[in-house]
A and B are shown apart, each in its own frame.
Chain A
Amino acid sequence: MTSGRMELVCPAGTPATLRAAVQAGADAVYCGFRDETNARNFPGLNFSGEELAEGVRFAHDHGSKVLVAINTFARVNDVDLWKKAADTAAECGANAIIAADIAVLDHVAKNHKQVRLHLSVQAAAATPEAIGFYATNFGIRRVVLPRVLSVQEIAALNRAIDVETEAFVFGGLCVMIEGRCYLSSYATGKSPNLNGVCSPPEMVSYDDEPNSTAARLSGYTIDRYEPGEPVGYPTLCKGKFKAGGKTSYLFEDPVSLNAGGMIAGLKAAGVTALKIEGRQRGKGYVTEVVRAFRKAVDAVEQGGDAIEIDRILAGQSEGSRQTAGAYSKKWR
């Protein structure tokens, strides 16, 4: 699939953030409802039907699209909540629904043909066969790529499929095969894929101890910080654990994704849309990141060189450690 001008897809956890993202230059904003149908089901976040309708009006008036994430997996005997969310999104005029569950995809494909279907990253579709299955059966128009593919693999994939691809370029990094992580379920009883929360805040505590602060999830110590050392959110996969007599970040270092330097490469690989993660982040953060990526994407579209892109995105490190993730993986 070849792409024209790349689309910048930006997060909105609240109506105020949606407006901020649109005003900062988002081509599309993605958001979700205030319930378990949404993989960012955090307290105080997300949209009611009324707020979504208003958000869609605002975005459309400013030339942006709204994509609604109904991207958790429906529970047995409770599929109606997910179907109703899809109906509301369609009524509100959403441009697309992002879904992973076959029941939700099927419902939208049959009942809301005017709404585009985007396959959520939660579906973990990373082969032409898997993507072809969803395209043939549900008419998906775009697949959000799992964060496990290199740029070369994305290029090969794009040559073999005829739906658009969307790639994450910035924000938190979920390192498991998408949609298949049981760490949070095991430790807290709450699942990212069913309840919409990984490492839920009601199980998080920061405990002061002599000479350190312990960040705990459900009573498990996930990391420990020296006085004055910046702290992190205790996400299980980024915790420090002892195994084989050695204490280390066993699954993944506490880093976040920044593939800003790969925008040109992703464009050449045929990617249609670039996605910024962070629906749980505030509007100050979203404004700043969207503005910088807007400039960077425009510069790439106008043939800007890597040095110029680096300069534009230089302020986006947040002081945290960053990685280009699997996009540049050398081990394959």
Chain B
Amino acid sequence: MLPRNSEGRLPAVVRHLFPVFTGLPLGPLLTLSLRSLAGRQPRLFDLLGEHRTACYFIDPVDLAFAFTVVPDAERSIVRVVRKSEAATSSVQIRGPILTLLSLLDGTLDGDALFFSRIISISGRTEAVLALRNTIEDAELRPADLLGLRGALARLVDTGILGALDVARQMAARNSRRKAPEA
């Protein structure tokens, strides 16, 4: 099912910054951070049950690339992939990157976003539900994913969440301006 509209998509200026990231080994970095999260919070991955071996295709519709994630605790794998690789995964989740990140930090209600078609899913619905419920309970902050603690963790959280907030506001303004075309 395709996402509905341009709501909350990255403004062009921010989008243009993203190709810089594609030069980074994003997949291995995210794989490492997910595996180290599994070392620190194994319960989260237990909650996923049989779905931890599912392959989730995460497609930020406003970026040029997508991710596949197998959240199998210390055997987790994250890959940066082409959009055309969706077919090989068990589940596809699509939406604007800022919205997807808001689901991670729990600022937005996943159900409402799905029912209003701002994000879309296809494939094994129960695997999406398991992931959503697990993430909800995890109350993850950026520093958790990066494995940081103490003052540095607080600093990084404030910085990243603040930047996300600014980007979200820009995106909201952007989509309000574009609304009549949508």
Q: Is B115's CB under 8 angstroms from A283's CB?
A: no
Interchain CA distance A229-B81 in the complex, whole Å: 30
| Inter-chain residue pair count (beta carbon < 8 A) | 92
Q: Say whether A132 faces chain B, with CB atoms less than 8 Å apart.
A: no
Q: Say whether A58 faces chain B, with CB atoms less than 8 Å apart.
A: no
The interface of chain B, by Cβ under 8 A from chain A, is: 1-2, 4-5, 47-49, 51, 106-112, 114-117, 120-122, 124-134, 136-139
Q: Is B47's CB under 8 angstroms from A44's CB?
A: yes
Q: Say whether A146 faces chain B, with CB atoms less than 8 Å apart.
A: no
The interface of chain A, by Cβ under 8 A from chain B, is: 13-17, 42-45, 200-202, 204-208, 213, 227-233, 281-285, 318-320
Chain B residues positioned under 8 Å from A229 (CB to CB): 117
Interchain CA distance A269-B106 in the complex, whole Å: 38
Interchain CA distance A281-B106 in the complex, whole Å: 12
Chain A residues positioned under 8 Å from B121 (CB to CB): 206
Interchain CA distance A319-B114 in the complex, whole Å: 13
* A282 contact from B111, B120, B122, B126, Cβ within 8 A: B111
Q: Is A281's CB under 8 angstroms from B133's CB?
A: no
Q: Is the interface of B mostly helix, strand, loop or mixed?
A: helix
User: Within the complex, what minimum Cβ distance (angstroms) separates A283 from chain B?
Assistant: 6
Q: Given known contacts A16-B139, A284-B106, is B125 in contact with A44 (CB within 8 Å)? A: no
Q: Is A202's CB under 8 angstroms from B117's CB?
A: no
User: Within the complex, what minimum Cβ distance (angstroms) separates A53 from chain B?
Assistant: 14
Q: Is A230's CB under 8 angstroms from B133's CB?
A: no
Chain A residues positioned under 8 Å from B139 (CB to CB): 16
Chain A residues positioned under 8 Å from B130 (CB to CB): 43-44
Chain B residues positioned under 8 Å from A282 (CB to CB): 106, 109-111, 132, 136
**With A43-B129, A201-B126, A284-B108 already in contact, 16 other A-B pairs whose C-beta atoms are closer than 8 Å:** A13-B136, A14-B137, A16-B138, A43-B126, A43-B133, A44-B48, A44-B51, A44-B137, A201-B128, A202-B125, A205-B125, A206-B121, A207-B1, A230-B115, A232-B115, A283-B106
Q: Is A230's CB under 8 angstroms from B116's CB?
A: yes
User: Within the complex, what minimum Cβ distance (angstroms) separates A18 from chain B?
Assistant: 10
Chain B residues positioned under 8 Å from A213 (CB to CB): 1
User: Within the complex, what minimum Cβ distance (angstroms) separates A133 from chain B?
Assistant: 37
Chain A residues positioned under 8 Å from B125 (CB to CB): 201-202, 204-206
Nearest neighbor of B138 in chain A, beta-carbon distance: A16
Interchain CA distance A17-B111 in the complex, whole Å: 15
Interchain CA distance A45-B134 in the complex, whole Å: 7
Chain A residues positioned under 8 Å from B136 (CB to CB): 13-14, 16-17, 282-283
Q: Given known contacts A16-B139, A44-B129, A231-B1, is B49 in contact with A285 (CB within 8 Å)? A: no
